Structure 1
Amino acid sequence: MANVFANKDVFKDTFQTRVEQIYGVKFEESTPHQRYFTLGTLVREYISSNWIETNEAIVEGKHKQVYYFSMEFLMGRLLTNNIMNLGIRPVIEEAMNELAIDLNELERIEADAGLGNGGLGRLAACFMDSIASLGLPGHGNGLRYRYGFFEQKIIDGYQVEIPDKWLQRGYVWEVRKSNESVEIPFYGHVQIENVDGKEVYKHVPAEYVRAVPYDVPVVGDVANNNKTVNTLRLWSSEPTENKYPDHISAVEYEKDVRNISEFLYPDDSTIEGKILRLKQQYFFVAAGVRWAVRQHKEVYGTLNNFHEKNVLHINDTHPALIVPELMRILIDEEGYGWDQAWEITQHSCAYTNHTILAEALEKWPVDLFQPLLPRIYMITEEINRRYCLKLLELYPNQPEKVAELAIIGYNQVRMAHLAIVGSFSINGVAQLHTDILTHIEMKDFYQMYPDRFNNKTNGITHRRWLLHCNPELTKLLDKEIGTGYHTNTFELAKLEDKLHDERVQKEIMNMKYARKQALANRIEREQGVKLDPNSIFDIQVKRLHAYKRQLLNAMHIMYLYNRLKEDEQFRANFHPQSFIFGAKAASGYYFAKKVIKLINSIAQKVNNDPETSNLLKVVFVENYNVTYAELIMPAADLSEQISTASKEASGTGNMKFMMNGAMTIGTLDGANVEIHELVGDENSFIFGLNADEVNDYQQNGGYNPWNLYHTDVRIRRVLDQLVNGFLTPDKEEFRDIFNAVTHNGDEYFVLKDFDAYVRAQEAANQAYKNRKKWTEMSMINIARSGKFSSDRTIQEYADQIWHLEKLKF
């Protein structure tokens, strides 16, 4: 196919012709959506030749490859990403200008692919981008959710969830591959037959579900002559092509089938919800492992060397069933004995742990797991039996210890234990997180398998989170330090040479002002709140969870409001500050939804008070997602990273803010520790308990929040205002929040860290007044952020865990 992006004239002619051919309308009468879809189609067709070449290069070079299994891939809009990574944006932009079409408007038409919720999914997306951009052979494997997490509306201050119909108008990037569909079995029983004196196990399912793959190209950056296009394979659940099950009606069966890939994270507070969640996990794991096995056998004809040529990467515990599923294929379908099958399996799987919170380490009741996946349960049981025999050797006469460390214990299947025992590598995602895993949370496993544990600090793709989302800063950096940082982010360090250059400082200030104005414009347009770009933009955007402590931020704003109202000297000395929140609370997470209501009630109060509204503004942005984040990250002056120390595995928002010149106000938690090591006390605002102190309180007690309530008048006043009608006429509206930090023991140390947070905020507010010094601090954060590129992270995975080599075309 001729290169339609060879120059603007060729592209312009092709584009106009294709719009008319596809939609049967004159180009002048076509809609923006028709133009967007045609542009996307042309780009995808252009990608195809490199996509084919990549797959051929993997096969011909007999390359080892990674399959990255994740329940979430929060990709964001791909048109922008693809035309940038392909290097064809200038040609398209020039042609569109001549056609009087705003390319940005076409980009805005694309729906955010609803394939994730928070940091886990966005990290997977950054990793996919980096794997391709580094020219490595690696593919994503996930679920094609028909509806995303949800679209968030704020009505009367409350979160209201609306289905996220991201697929409603089609998805231009996906290619349906019906011919590669597989049938996934559920329920039924296991038959044991004797064949030539050997026991053979056969799962006789009660029902099948068809897994249909939709492939999305993942385009690497063309820099360094890279032509890699990897595959993100998303599985959709459809009715079987076999016989329908007997035990339920066809209508009920079809509804159950659709449900598997209908919603991200179905509510698992009910038995039905738990079964659906487990079904989802096995469904995409079984389909993805078969894909990897089939690809391998087509090249090598045997699975003897499967582990030498493939890594099945378990991203968090959700895909842990890879371990028994690969065992099932090797034993039941390929005829391997247990020991050889286990050798291959254990050397094929690698596991990333993303959490320290016990409730996030999944456990499934045996009486739910066993009937749904009878053969998988049988294999898991045998893995557990053999593993427990080894535990008994290590811990003789300690049955409680064996039960605690077992894969199946107290009538539950523990997915994290399954992933640890079945993998050759287990990694945390920030140095502090890995230290907590190896010394506290998974200490016993670390003592058993010290060589398996390692750290891989997370990163972000600077292509999206700097080059694309901050054009002003990109242009400035290109001019001042060259473009080498586009492919090697450590070259951002060159900016430090310009630290005292007043001209560069002025341009940094102008960049930040422009980005703040762009965000303020959207907020005013959509929510009617007018923010002053000269105020400090203090931003906390992330999933809403008690440990992330949006509540601490909200309580501080209430304290500020009280003080601004009453203390004239404080008011005269206070630099105006705009507090911006963005977050979705899981639909069943009652406490988190109450915090959203609280923030909006505070906003209502302070924004409408003429005494303070020019000094203090609060806004909760509606429906925070990847595309909104692209506008928010470059606009921040202060990056709120205030989780309880020891609770956040890493965080990646902290890295995006840092790379765009925001100062971190945060605890020594997750990757904040490494940010702080790089920039020091003088270029960040660190406060609060550290991880050791938090762990000490949790293990040994000694903290009583009522002491602070009774001795700190600021805390008592703010807490009383939650329940005395100050914010809403309904005095009980925020009673549960009051109780959480008092009667219920303040699990996340909100009150304990309150004073330290107030002092850190005061220091930041005063520091901002010296704009020259603040700009230098901002430049240091940008210059030292190179470590946090996902290219660095992925190179470490490739060198130290996956052992991949760069593709040669």
Structure 2
Amino acid sequence: MTKTSTARAAAPASSRPAAAAKSRSHDAAADFRQLAARALAQRSDGHSAEACLNAVAIASRTLLADRWALTQQADARRKGVRRVHYLSMEFLMGRALGNALAAIGMHEQVEAALPEGAPALGEVLEHEPDAALGNGGLGRLAACFLDSFASLGLPSFGYGLRYKHGMFAQHIQDGRQVEQPDEWLRHGSAWELPRHELRYPVGFGGTVVNEGGQRRWVPAQAVVAQAVDFIVPGHGTERVSTLRQWQAEAARPIDFPTFCRGEFASAGAHLQEAEALNWVLYPDDSTPAGRELRLKQEFLLVSASLQDTLARHLREFGDVHSYGRLNAVHLNDTHPAMAPAELMRLLLDEHGLGWDEAWKITSQAVSYTNHTLMPEALETWPVSLFEALLPRHLEIVYEINRRFLDEVRARFPGDDAMAARVSLIDEGAHGGERRVRMAALAIVASHKVNGVSALHSRLMVETIFADYAKLWPQRFINVTNGVTPRRWLEQANPGLSALLDKTIGDGWRADLSQLSELGAKAGQKRLGQEFMKVKLANKQRLADHIRRELGINVDPHSLFDVQIKRIHEYKRQLLNVLHVVARYQAIIANPSAHWTPRTVIFAGKAASAYRAAKLVIQLIHDVARVVNSDPRVGDKLKVVFLPNYSVSLAQIILPAADLSEQISTAGTEASGTGNMKFALNGACTIGTWDGANIEMAEGMDAVSPRKDGASNMFVFGLLTEEVARIKALGYDPRLYVEENRQLKAVLDAITGGVFSWGDPDRYRALVQPLLQHDPYLLMADFAAYVECQKTVDALYDEPTAWAERALRNIAGMGFFSTDRTIGEYVQQVWAAPAKR
């Protein structure tokens, strides 16, 4: 049985409403045309692209709403199967209409339904804004999971917040990132189903009172969480997944007497305060107000979601005691780590359970995915803020911690240092403030904790969570990430999908592991030529987009070298820029030499308060201005930064990429999913031995080994163990600069103002740290990176060999489907409550 078929088998047949749906007598296509025509007739803007988009979306949503209702009915009748509740602060959904039409098989019907004079379907689809409900890989992974939930027939809900302005829309002014609100909801969203009957109170602040021996929280402030469902269709099934979003509303109307006195702002201040909870994803937490808002957002998500899961469970099963056996509550990173404390509060205070039973239910239900190895990225909250906003929860955290530390001391008597390390409360040594460790809370309450790649999961138990792993070695597991091939191959790259169908059959669409059959054919010259033809068409599409949006002409025959991801120091976009500068200097030193033409493409957002990351964006633009305008360089080298990176933009970039940059410092990238999307679309990877790069390389080499025994991936740089060793011995980045004249020339050019119009101070904050402590070892890896790029050039100069390598990359990607990932979660985490 394949991994995919195992995953499908994890969901009971009784939970799939396909048979009931097929027995319906009405003609879905006719209904679709009628619904679209009715919606279009109600518009006042004729047959504009916006009007057609709205009409087609309403018709699609109406058909999917029927499937959604049947899915919920089937899931309510399930016997002994756990429903999964996936809590995440992000769901990076992208555009919904194209995905829906692919799922319901209505492309031809849509073309027929569009009236004469209307724009083409492609133009209509381009008018849909991306749903701004996420930012990066964390949110896109969650969105892929929803796709697999539906396609595999898993009873489930995704839970998130409905952000009105996303994180931000990224604009570039004079090379600098400027943040503006993302107005994705300006015209509403046809994909949402408001659930006015689903409203839950969420409180903040106040006091805790004792009533008859029972502790009860009396909040000082209350909002109402209103449910809004975003529907996600399955592929190859009539099931529909649900992303339930929470919209905060004021718990009371305006203060009418105050309004009548003319004090309008005061009369409605609480309305705005409630609405602010949904304005922005990840508000800047560099201020006290920003930190308070972020904590409130996280609690809004957790409290409303858990109240909803409990209410549904009571409707279906009648008592709360079986909640842990029949429900899985999964925490996607530490943002929803308040869930154990809130579930305990609900069970203790609202449902009257005793501590032991409430804790048993909580630990049966809760599981946690960790996404980072960097201690500074593990969320903590000041005890003072926690107490001010969530006093009852702090009491519960203290009690969880007391019982937990009693267990630790009993098992490791006399080891007070270990007790301090694992405590849920950081006592603030050396004068710091006391803080609640959210990852610790998630680990202590969960029955399973997983990493997201083999290396990450190993390092997780060897480093940041080593003490917890000593306590519970069986609690920690690995579930390597994946991506959905529906969005990231079928829809993003129809040309390659058709070529795969012709070459190995279309079975890969339902079972991605069948891509391995491509391995034996990767060396076929004709197949390589057909692949390169598809790739060139995709590159021409991206080149056209770059010319329209930025006015930069790039050669589609050049090597498209792409790095698209969140801008962060550990992801090392700066190392990429250093190589670009080195390449530029080499070209102008010897312009008549043979140079493999290269177009280096960047995209990604920097957090609004992250100065170093924003400086990298500015440097990319400054380097691009110099390189792209230098007549000595011409088409030998171009540099492009595409602003406002999004799912829909990624669907243009990924199929066009020749080279995928996955160059994080070894031991810092948990997994990555962009690396998987690139390889799935036929890009070769240059990367460090980090995250899922390792498993990808092993998968490629196992499925389609090279005759010389070398890796199909371009691997460079220090290994994780070498990084640790060099830091332990005392890493001095200046030694690497002094020994490498090329590197010194690059840094001198940047600090000398070559790319900043004679302003040598502009990038001092970027370069000086590289010479002093360089935490992500750019100086140590620079020489190996530049040398590896020469190997890339040499292979690209041989189109037949390059095509074979790219096809080997695709052949090895069968393991990296979220269908396989979800199957493993079902089997190892969600299928049944683990024994404690």
TM tier, smaller: over 0.9
- Indicate whether 1:746 and 2:774 are aligned: yes
- Indicate whether 1:787 and 2:808 are aligned: no
Partners of 2:700 and 2:712 within 8 A in 1: yes
Match of 1:628? 649
* Partner residue of 2:743 out of 687, 712, 715: 715
* Structure 1 segment 753-768 matched on structure 2, within 5 A: 753-768=781-796
* Partner residue of 1:556 out of 568, 579, 592: 579
Q: In 2, Cα distance between the equivalents of 1:788 and 1:673?
A: 12
Q: In 1, Cα distance between the equivalents of 2:37 and 2:465?
A: 60
- Shift of residue 254, structure 1, vs aligned partner: 2.2
Match of 2:361? 344
Match of 1:179? 197
Residue identity matched to 1:576: P
- Shift of residue 250, structure 1, vs aligned partner: 4.3
Structure-2 change in CA distance of 1:5 and 1:644 (3 Å):
farther
* Partner residue of 1:587 out of 608, 632, 638: 608
Q: In 2, Cα distance between the equivalents of 1:76 and 1:389?
A: 47
Partners of 2:92 and 2:647 within 8 A in 1: yes
* Partner residue of 2:559 out of 531, 536, 560: 536
Gaps of 5+ in 2: 1-20, 259-264, 428-433, 702-709
Residue identity matched to 1:294: A
- Shift of residue 613, structure 1, vs aligned partner: 2.1
- Indicate whether 1:64 and 2:97 are aligned: no
Match of 2:408? 391
Match of 1:137? 155
Match of 2:617? 596
Which secondary structure does the structure 2 equivalent of 1:623 belong to? coil
Normalised by the size of structure 2, how large is the TM-score? 0.92
Q: Deviations over 1:604-657 (max 9, x none)?
A: 011001111220000011111110000001111100000000000000000000
Match of 2:15? none
Q: In 2, Cα distance between the equivalents of 1:317 and 1:600?
A: 34
Residue identity matched to 1:220: G
* Partner residue of 1:362 out of 350, 360, 379: 379
* Partner residue of 2:469 out of 429, 440, 446: 446
- Shift of residue 245, structure 1, vs aligned partner: 14
Partners of 2:36 and 2:113 within 8 A in 1: no
Q: In 2, Cα distance between the equivalents of 1:95 and 1:178?
A: 32
Residue identity matched to 1:102: A
Which secondary structure does the structure 2 equivalent of 1:438 belong to? helix
Partners of 2:225 and 2:249 within 8 A in 1: yes
Residue identity matched to 1:286: S
* Partner residue of 1:493 out of 516, 520, 540: 516
Residue identity matched to 1:711: E
Q: In 2, Cα distance between the equivalents of 1:10 and 1:398?
A: 70
Partners of 1:5 and 1:92 within 8 A in 2: no
Which secondary structure does the structure 2 equivalent of 1:732 belong to? coil
Q: In 2, Cα distance between the equivalents of 1:587 and 1:533?
A: 33
Partners of 1:645 and 1:694 within 8 A in 2: yes
Residue identity matched to 2:361: I
Which secondary structure does the structure 2 equivalent of 1:787 belong to? coil
- Indicate whether 1:414 and 2:443 are aligned: no
- Shift of residue 441, structure 1, vs aligned partner: 1.7
Q: In 2, Cα distance between the equivalents of 1:588 and 1:246?
A: 41
- Indicate whether 1:204 and 2:224 are aligned: no
Q: In 2, Cα distance between the equivalents of 1:501 and 1:95?
A: 43
Which secondary structure does the structure 1 equivalent of 2:586 belong to? helix
Structure-2 change in CA distance of 1:310 and 1:492 (3 Å):
same
Q: In 2, Cα distance between the equivalents of 1:137 and 1:437?
A: 30
* Partner residue of 1:30 out of 47, 53, 56: 47
Match of 2:805? 777
Structure-2 change in CA distance of 1:478 and 1:292 (3 Å):
same
Q: Deviations over 1:48-82 (max 9, x none)?
A: 22111111111112432100000000000010111
Residue identity matched to 1:85: A
Q: In 2, Cα distance between the equivalents of 1:413 and 1:657?
A: 38
Residue identity matched to 1:216: F
* Structure 1 segment 230-249 matched on structure 2, within 5 A: 230-241=241-252, 249=266
Q: In 1, Cα distance between the equivalents of 2:391 and 2:711?
A: 58
* Structure 1 segment 682-721 matched on structure 2, within 5 A: 682-698=711-727, 700-721=728-749
- Indicate whether 1:316 and 2:333 are aligned: yes
Partners of 1:515 and 1:634 within 8 A in 2: yes
Match of 2:766? 737
- Shift of residue 16, structure 1, vs aligned partner: 2.8
Segment drifting more, 34-43 vs 492-501: 492-501
Residue identity matched to 2:765: D
- Shift of residue 31, structure 1, vs aligned partner: 2.1
Partners of 2:47 and 2:118 within 8 A in 1: no
Residue identity matched to 2:233: V
Match of 2:420? 403
Q: Deviations over 1:744-778 (max 9, x none)?
A: x0000001000000011000011111111110111
* Structure 1 segment 424-573 matched on structure 2, within 5 A: 424-567=447-590, 572-573=593-594
- Shift of residue 153, structure 1, vs aligned partner: 1.1
Gaps of 5+ in 1: none
Which secondary structure does the structure 2 equivalent of 1:670 belong to? coil
- Cα RMSD for the two superposed structures: 2.0
- Indicate whether 1:799 and 2:827 are aligned: yes
How many residues are matched? 789
* Partner residue of 1:263 out of 252, 264, 280: 280
Normalised by the size of structure 1, how large is the TM-score? 0.95
Structure-2 change in CA distance of 1:10 and 1:272 (3 Å):
closer
Which secondary structure does the structure 2 equivalent of 1:753 belong to? helix
Which secondary structure does the structure 1 equivalent of 2:214 belong to? strand
Structure-2 change in CA distance of 1:10 and 1:304 (3 Å):
closer
Match of 1:647? 668
Q: In 1, Cα distance between the equivalents of 2:305 and 2:713?
A: 43
- Indicate whether 1:608 and 2:608 are aligned: no
Residue identity matched to 1:303: V
- Shift of residue 207, structure 1, vs aligned partner: 1.1
Q: In 2, Cα distance between the equivalents of 1:333 and 1:13?
A: 48
- Indicate whether 1:153 and 2:171 are aligned: yes
Residue identity matched to 1:174: E
* Structure 1 segment 274-285 matched on structure 2, within 5 A: 274-285=291-302
- Indicate whether 1:670 and 2:691 are aligned: yes
- Shift of residue 472, structure 1, vs aligned partner: 0.6
Structure-2 change in CA distance of 1:458 and 1:473 (3 Å):
same
Which secondary structure does the structure 1 equivalent of 2:580 belong to? helix
Partners of 1:655 and 1:785 within 8 A in 2: yes
Partners of 1:574 and 1:766 within 8 A in 2: no
Q: In 1, Cα distance between the equivalents of 2:502 and 2:115?
A: 25
Partners of 2:56 and 2:110 within 8 A in 1: no
Residue identity matched to 1:273: G
Which secondary structure does the structure 1 equivalent of 2:135 belong to? coil
Q: In 1, Cα distance between the equivalents of 2:499 and 2:343?
A: 51
Partners of 1:70 and 1:318 within 8 A in 2: yes
Partners of 1:634 and 1:657 within 8 A in 2: yes
